[in-house]
Each structure stands twice: as C-alpha cells, then as structure tokens.
Amino acid sequence: MLKFNPKKISFLLGSGFAEKFDDPNFFCNKYNFGNSIEVNNTIKSKDFFKILRKNKINFPQISFKNHKKNWIVKGQKSYGSLSVKKIKTLNYILKENEYSQRFMQGKVISVQFISENKKIKIISICEQINLKDEYTIDYLVTKDITNTYKNKIFKLIEKLTSIFDLNGLNSVELISEKKKYFLIEINSRPGLGINIVGKLNGGPFFSKKKKVLKKKILVTKIIYANKNLTINQRMIKFFKKFCDSKKFSELPNLGDIIKVNQPLCLIHISAENIELLKKEMSNTTQLIERIESMQNEK
C-alpha cells in the first residue's frame, strides 16, 4: 500500500478500501469527495436494515440469528460478490458479522449516481449479469429502461440519499420479483461501475459539463482465475504489452497470489451492437487461457 500523509490530501475511498476503516478520525478535517466513514459503517451494519424497515423500503428477508435452507450468506463488510455464498444445509452456524438473506431470482439492476448537497444525478443504469451460481457477478452492461421505471428509481435514490446523507458517487442494486422491486444493497463508494461512470460522466464528480459519447453499449466484466496463480515476471510482461489501461484495470502485481475463482482483473468493453459486444467478450476467454498457461513459465 502506498504511504501517504492524510493531513495533506483530499480523498475518495474506493471499494475494498472503505470497508477496512472503522476510525472516523483517520481522515479528520480533510475534504472527503465521498461518503463519511460513519455513513460507510452504518450501511455495512445491522442498523442499515433497521433503518430500511423503519422507512418502509423493501429488501429481501434477512436473519442474523439462523441460516435458512437455500438462502445466501453474506459478510456485513463484503464488497463485490466476495464473501457471498449459497449454503443449502440448515445446520450452518452464522459467523460474527455474517447474515443470511433470502435468495431471490430475478433481474438485477445496478444504478450509479452522484449526490452533492442533496442534488441527485443518475449517471448510468446497468443490468447485472451473474455467473451460473446466480449470485457471483460476471459483468455489468448498460441498459435502457422505461421513463416510468427510471422515475421510480430516481424517487427511491432521493429517499435513500436523504435517509443516509449520501454524498459523492454511490450505486444501488435492485432486484425485481413479481413486479415488485427490492433493494439488495447500497454501495456507498466507487465500485465495479466506476469505469462506466468515467466514460459517461468524465469522472466520479458532479460535473456540470455533459460528456458527449457516441451511443454504445458499455460493459465492465470481472475475469476470474480458473486455477491458483502466482503472478510471475512473464505474466507482468504480457500485461504491459497487451493489457492497456483503456480496456483493463485492477491488474495484479508481481508475486500476487490469485486463488481459483478469485478476481484476476477487470475488462472494459464498448461496442455499437450486441453482436460486436459478444465477439469482444469471447476474446477474454482466450486471454485468460494465455495468462494461465504462463503459470509454470519463468
């Protein structure tokens, strides 16, 4: 981790980083472009669900006491789909900071938005496509929705922003079941959709300038390791030669150990139609196979 002096910087906490801070005084008196640590901690606590229930916001049934058959188990401070697992047995004992949630089948929508002084700007609406296990994220893809649905989302985001005092870049995940929408979670820090936000808005801030972008389908896809990998020099050279920063992010460093089914990197794709998009995405399979073939090379 880079060393820095928090007394000299403004900051924006990102996914995987915001979850690790519990001390609200760590960045005391410095300008925060995102949510406060108190807000992040509230959203990742039991109180979050109590607040939702009090304000009559629909969310899937949960339990902090007992696991129920075919429900999923989540960590309170998990990010992405890490620490999410589906356990079919009833005798699973929930660990500290874990809870059980009813598994719902339906389309998942991820909405990226910016809040500043209670003003709301929706940047992108994406469909979240999961892997075959049905709860691990595969990719986000931008999606057109009806104005009626968009207005409902905007009103919900306004309500959530007011309740939790949301600031900066956030996203919400919603799932539909029997024409009823449920809030899965609030991501109160930049996450998987940050690259899409950058392309559409020019960055994670309440920009007054509207970015002009030719109508394209945008995708951010997570590449998972098919086997255990230790990142060697050959892989690093491959990343530098073929994985430019416009299409790839969160690439591993030399010596990193990536376990099977853990994220290896992110790939960002844009295409003018579905056919071209599918072609681009199929190329990612060949890429991961080439990287994994270097495991035993020096």
Q: What pLDDT digit, counting tens, does each position of 80-124 carry? A: 556 688 777 778 888 888 899 998 888 899 999 999 888 899 999
Top pLDDT among 203 and 153 is at 153
Q: Which residues contact 129 (CB under 8 A, 6 or more apart)?
A: 137, 138, 139, 140, 141
User: Can you give the pLDDT at residue 56?
Assistant: 96
105 touches 134 (CB < 8 A): yes
CA nearest to 72, candidates 109, 42, 104, 47: 104
**CA 157 to centroid of chain Cα atoms:** 17
Q: Report d(CA 114, CA 205) in Å as an integer.
A: 7
Q: What pLDDT digit, counting tens, does each position of 35-69 carry? A: 888 898 899 899 999 999 999 999 999 999 888 88
User: Can you give the pLDDT at residue 233?
Assistant: 93
Summarize the confidence of residues 236-260 as an average pLDDT: 91
Lowest mean pLDDT among 19-33, 168-182, 198-212: 19-33
Residue 72: strand pairing partners: 86, 101
Q: What pLDDT digit, counting tens, does each position of 152-161 carry? A: 999 999 999 9
Summarize the confidence of residues 220-232 as an average pLDDT: 92
Give the domains, in start order, of the chain with CATH numbers: 1-213 (3.30.470.20), 219-292 (3.90.1170)
**b (16+ CB within 10 A) / e for 130-154:** eeeeebbbbbbbbeeeeeeeeeebe
User: Can you give the pLDDT at residue 2?
Assistant: 46
CA nearest to 31, candidates 13, 56, 58: 13
CA nearest to 126, candidates 109, 138, 139, 148: 109
Three-state secondary structure call for residue 197: helix
Token pair for 47:
């109180």
Top pLDDT among 88 and 216 is at 216
Q: Report d(CA 257, CA 253) in Å as an integer.
A: 9
Q: Report d(CA 121, CA 80) in Å as an integer.
A: 23
Q: How many CB atoms lie within 10 A of CB 287?
A: 17
Give the pLDDT band (50/70/90) at residue 234.
Answer: very high
CA angle 74, 76, 77 (to 5 degrees): 110
pLDDT over 70 for what percent of the chain? 84
Q: Is the confidence at residue 288, as pLDDT, over 50?
A: yes
Summarize the confidence of residues 21-26 as an average pLDDT: 58
User: Can you give the pLDDT at residue 211?
Assistant: 57
Q: Report d(CA 12, CA 190) in Å as an integer.
A: 8
Determine which helix (DSSP H) or strand (DSSP E) holds 51, and give its type and residue range.
helix 46-54
CA nearest to 160, candidates 97, 100, 111: 111
Q: Report d(CA 206, CA 47) in Å as an integer.
A: 29
Give the pLDDT band (50/70/90) at residue 1.
Answer: very low
67 burial via Cβ count (<10 Å: 0-12, 13-18, 19+): buried
Give the pLDDT band (50/70/90) at residue 13.
Answer: low
Q: What pLDDT digit, counting tens, does each position of 122-154 carry? A: 999 999 999 887 778 999 999 998 999 999 999
Q: How many CB atoms lie within 10 A of CB 17?
A: 15
